[in-house]
C-alpha cells in the first residue's frame, strides 16, 4: 500500500492477527502477522502532518485507535478528531474547517453539492468501520428482553408508554414486566445514528415519523452524542435508548435482543451476529464506484438466522481531489494506516465495532489510492 509520492518510510511494524467479519482466523497466524507487518512497512508517511477531522461520535472510539496507530506508524503525524455528531462533521468539512469529516450516514443532496463545491470535485464516502446500534434499556430485575421492529417503532413514537404493555408482554413470555413508565432517550444533536435507527424503524417496524439525522419520534428526552445517551440510561429508571454498541458496552448497559422474521425469539448483538448482517452488504453506487455508499436496506430484514438487523456503516467524507497536494497525501496516509489489517482487527472489535470484511478492505484501498 504505497502512496504515489516518496516520503518518510515507516521502519517498524506491529504484528496482529487479521479479522474478517468479526471472526479471527484460527489458522496461519504467522502468515497473517507477517502480512500485517508487511502492510505497515509499505506505508509511506507523507503530506500534511497535522490533520483535523470531526463528526460522528459513533466512530469516536475507533478514531482513537486509528489516530494512536497513526502517530506510532508515522512519527510527527497526528490527527485531531472532534466529535459533535455527524451533522457537525459534514458541516465542518463543507466549510473547509477540517480535512475530512466523520458521518454515520453518507452525504447526499444539498450536503453532497456543498461538499463538491468545497472540494471543487466530487466528495466520496469511505467506510472505515461498521457500528452496530444497540437498543439499551434499564428495567429493574429484567436482564432478558426481546423487542420487534413494530414494537420498537411504537415505543419510539410514543404509542407504547408502559413496560407491561400487551405488545411487549407478548414478545417476552415469562418475563415479569413492571407497570412502569417508559422513558425514551434519544440523540439531541444531528446524528447519523438517529438516521440509521429511524431507517430501521421505518423498514422493519412501520414507523411513520420519517428518517433523517433529527429524531422525529416526538417523545422522550434528548442527550448530546453517543456518550450523552450511553451515560444517561443507567441513572434513568425505565429508560430505553438507541446507542452505538461501544457506548452500551462501556456503560455496562442491558441490551435488548431484536426479533426478526428469522429469529422470533430475538437475536443478541454480538460480533458474530453483526458480521452475518454485513455479509449481505452491497454498494449502492455499483461495485466499481470509489464513492462507497453501503446499501443498508438489506440489513433491516435479514434473510438468514442469527443476523442482527441494526447496523450502520460509519464513513469518512473526503475530497476525491483536494486543492493542495500535501492535504491529499496526509489524508491518504491516515486512511492507509486506519485501513491496515492490524487496525481492522481485535482491538476494533473490543471497542465495539465490526471490522471491515476483507473484500471491503480491498475495495477501500482502491478508493484511497484514487484520491488526488
Three-state DSSP at 50 gives strand
Are 229 and 247 within 8 A, CB to CB? yes
Q: Does any domain span residue 299?
A: no
Q: What are the CA-CA distances from residue 310 to residues 94, 162, 275, 296, 298 (Å)?
A: 28, 23, 12, 9, 10
Q: Tell whether the torsion through CA atoms of 167, 298, 266 and 158 is positive or negative.
A: negative
Binding residues for phosphate: 56-58, 86, 104, 191-193
Q: Which residues of 95-133 are buried (b: 16+ CB within 10 A; e: fewer)?
A: eeebbbbbbbbbbeeebbebbbebbebebbbbbbbbbbb
Q: Does any domain span residue 300?
A: no
**Is the same domain home to 222 and 252?**
yes
218, with CB counted inside 10 A (0-12, 13-18, 19+), is exposed
Other C-beta atoms closer than 10 Å to the C-beta of 62 total: 28
**Is the same domain home to 18 and 91?**
yes
Looking up residue 12, the CATH number of its domain turns out to be 3.40.190.10
Binding residues: 56-58, 86, 104, 191-193
Are 166 and 190 within 8 A, CB to CB? no
**Is the same domain home to 28 and 163?**
no
Report how far residue 73's alpha carbon sits from residue 13's, in angstroms, rounded to the nearest whole number: 8
**Is the same domain home to 202 and 338?**
no
**Is the same domain home to 247 and 327?**
no
Place of cell 428495567: 139
**Is the same domain home to 140 and 97?**
no
pLDDT score recorded for residue 162? 98
Domain boundaries, position 233: 133-277
User: Nearest to residue 283, comparing CAs of 321, 315, 330?
Assistant: 315
Q: Does any domain span residue 116?
A: yes
Residue 266's φ and ψ, nearest 5 degrees, are 100, 150
User: Nearest to residue 144, comparing CAs of 168, 169, 167, 172?
Assistant: 172
Q: Where are the alpha helices (DSSP H) in the chain?
A: 29-42, 60-73, 86-94, 109-119, 149-155, 166-170, 192-205, 225-233, 245-250, 271-278, 325-339, 346-350, 358-370
Q: Does any domain span residue 90?
A: yes
Report how far residue 115's alpha carbon sits from residue 317's, in angstroms, rounded to the nearest whole number: 9
User: Phi/psi class of residue 193: alpha, beta or left (left: φ > 0; alpha: ψ in -120 to 50)?
Assistant: alpha
Other C-beta atoms closer than 10 Å to the C-beta of 331 total: 24
Report how far residue 86's alpha carbon sits from residue 93's, in angstroms, rounded to the nearest whole number: 11
Instruction: Count structural domains, the chain.
Output: 2
pLDDT score recorded for residue 13? 28
Three-state DSSP at 19 gives strand
Are 188 and 222 within 8 A, CB to CB? yes
Which grid coordinates are listed for 142?
A: 429484567
pLDDT score recorded for residue 28? 34
**Is the same domain home to 118 and 17?**
yes
pLDDT score recorded for residue 361? 85
Choose the final residue of a domain: 277, 302, 332: 277
Q: Does any domain span residue 198?
A: yes
Torsion of CA 350, 354, 360, 365, to 10 degrees: -30
Other C-beta atoms closer than 10 Å to the C-beta of 190 total: 22
**Is the same domain home to 54 and 186?**
no
Q: Tell whether the torsion through CA atoms of 18, 23, 28 and 30 is positive or negative.
A: positive
pLDDT score recorded for residue 322? 98
The rounded average pLDDT for each run of 10 residues, N- to C-terminus, in the chain (372 residues) is: 32 27 34 43 88 92 94 96 91 97 93 97 94 96 97 98 98 97 96 92 97 96 95 98 93 97 96 86 89 89 93 94 97 96 85 81 93 96
**Is the same domain home to 256 and 150?**
yes
Q: Would you give the DSSP letter of residue 188?
A: -
341, with CB counted inside 10 A (0-12, 13-18, 19+), is buried
**Is the same domain home to 147 and 270?**
yes
Q: Does any domain span residue 18?
A: yes
Report how far residue 232's alpha carbon sits from residue 222's, in angstroms, rounded to the nearest whole number: 10
Report how far residue 336's alpha carbon sits from residue 119's, in angstroms, rounded to the nearest whole number: 21
Q: Does any domain span residue 233?
A: yes
Report how far residue 23's alpha carbon sits from residue 276's, in angstroms, rounded to the nearest whole number: 11
Choose the final residue of a domain: 232, 250, 277: 277
Q: Does any domain span residue 1?
A: no
**Is the same domain home to 327 and 345?**
yes
**Is the same domain home to 186 and 92?**
no
pLDDT score recorded for residue 227? 92
Amino acid at each position: 500500500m504505497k502512496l504515489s509520492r516518496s516520503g518518510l518510510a515507516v521502519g517498524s511494524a506491529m504484528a496482529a492477527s487479521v479479522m474478517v467479519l468479526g471472526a479471527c482466523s484460527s489458522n496461519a497466524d504467522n502468515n497473517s502477522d507477517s502480512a500485517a507487518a508487511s502492510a505497515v512497512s509499505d506505508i509511506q508517511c507523507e503530506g500534511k502532518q497535522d490533520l483535523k477531522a470531526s463528526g460522528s461520535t459513533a466512530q469516536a472510539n475507533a478514531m482513537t485507535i486509528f489516530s494512536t496507530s497513526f502517530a506510532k506508524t508515522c512519527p510527527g503525524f497526528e490527527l485531531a478528531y472532534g466529535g459533535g455528531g455527524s451533522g457537525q462533521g459534514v458541516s465542518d468539512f463543507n466549510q473547509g474547517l477540517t480535512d475530512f469529516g466523520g458521518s454515520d450516514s453518507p452525504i447526499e443532496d444539498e450536503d453532497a453539492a456543498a461538499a463538491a463545491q468545497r472540494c471543487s470535485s466530487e466528495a466520496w464516502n469511505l467506510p472505515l468501520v461498521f457500528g452496530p446500534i444497540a437498543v439499551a434499556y434499564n428495567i429493574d430485575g429484567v436482564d432478558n428482553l426481546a423487542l420487534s421492529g413494530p414494537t420498537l417503532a411504537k415505543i419510539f413514537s410514543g404509542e407504547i408508554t408502559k413496560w407491561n404493555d400487551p405488545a411487549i408482554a407478548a414478545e417476552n413470555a415469562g418475563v415479569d414486566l413492571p407497570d412502569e413508565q417508559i422513558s425514551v432517550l434519544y440523540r439531541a444533536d444531528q446524528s447519523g445514528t438517529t438516521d440509521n435507527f429511524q431507517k430501521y424503524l421505518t423498514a422493519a417496524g412501520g414507523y411513520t415519523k420519517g428518517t433523517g439525522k433529527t429524531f422525529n419520534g416526538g417523545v422522550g428526552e434528548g442527550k448530546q452524542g453517543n456518550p450523552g445517551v450511553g451515560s444517561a440510561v443507567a441513572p434513568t429508571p425505565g429508560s430505553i435508548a438507541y446507542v452505538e454498541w461501544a457506548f452500551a458496552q462501556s456503560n455496562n448497559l442491558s441490551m435488548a435482543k431484536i426479533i426478526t422474521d428469522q429469529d422470533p425469539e430475538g437475536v443478541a448483538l454480538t460480533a458474530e451476529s453483526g458480521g452475518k448482517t454485513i455479509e449481505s452488504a452491497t454498494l449502492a453506487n455499483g461495485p466499481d464506484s470509489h464513492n462507497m455508499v453501503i446499501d443498508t436496506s438489506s440489513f433491516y430484514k435479514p434473510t438468514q438466522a442469527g443476523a442482527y438487523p441494526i447496523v450502520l456503516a460509519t464513513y469518512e467524507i473526503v475530497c476525491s481531489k483536494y486543492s493542495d497536494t500535501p492535504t491529499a497525501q496526509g489524508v491518504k496516509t491516515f486512511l492507509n494506516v486506519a485501513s491496515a489489517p492490524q487496525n481492522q482487527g481485535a482491538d476494533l472489535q473490543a471497542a465495539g465495532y465490526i471490522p471491515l470484511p476483507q473484500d471491503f478492505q480491498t475495495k477501500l484501498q482502491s478508493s484511497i489510492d484514487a484520491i488526488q
